[in-house]
Amino acid sequence: MKIKVCGLKHPENINAVAALQPDYAGFILYGKSPRYMANLATDALQTIPASIQKTGVFVNESSENIDRLVTEYGFNAVQLHGDESPEFCAAFKGRVTVIKAFGINEDFDFEQLKDYANNVDLFLFDTKTKEYGGSGKTFDWAILDQYKLDIPFFLSGGVGLEKYKRG
């Protein structure tokens, strides 16, 4: 099991979370998110240990801007949380870890993931909402019984100890 903490935007919070040694630390680069890391100095990420994958989270961003921010902040991974195509994802694979996010509900078509299979390293399954990004709400995890690919995935949306204990 891997843990990704997302939405970091304040240096003191970044340092506190880094001390806990999650596997991934996510930084939102989507201006409409309340967790947008606007104007965060690039040196705020320099203290993060190399064992933690610094992840830039993007929504329908241009590949040029993603490239620039990966270099500027030293991201090891990108999480693509918008309508990015398999080809768009493939442009980053091999340079950084590519995480493609999908909003899940009872109507989700898992067949569409096959087109991404060779173009991403991980999927992230979150609760489907009208907006991009996390809602903190849990979807019915039984839906994941339909997932048949061998690509590992993150669960997102209302994940916590109580949900985990219920199994």
Q: Which residues are catalytic?
A: 6, 126
Phi, psi of 42 (to 5 degrees): -60, -30
**H-only helix segments in the chain:** 11-19, 63-73, 86-90, 161-166
Helices (H), strands (E): how many in the chain?
Answer: 4, 7
Residue 139 carries which DSSP code? P
- Measured in degrees and rounded to the nearest 5, phi and psi for residue 127 equal -70, 130
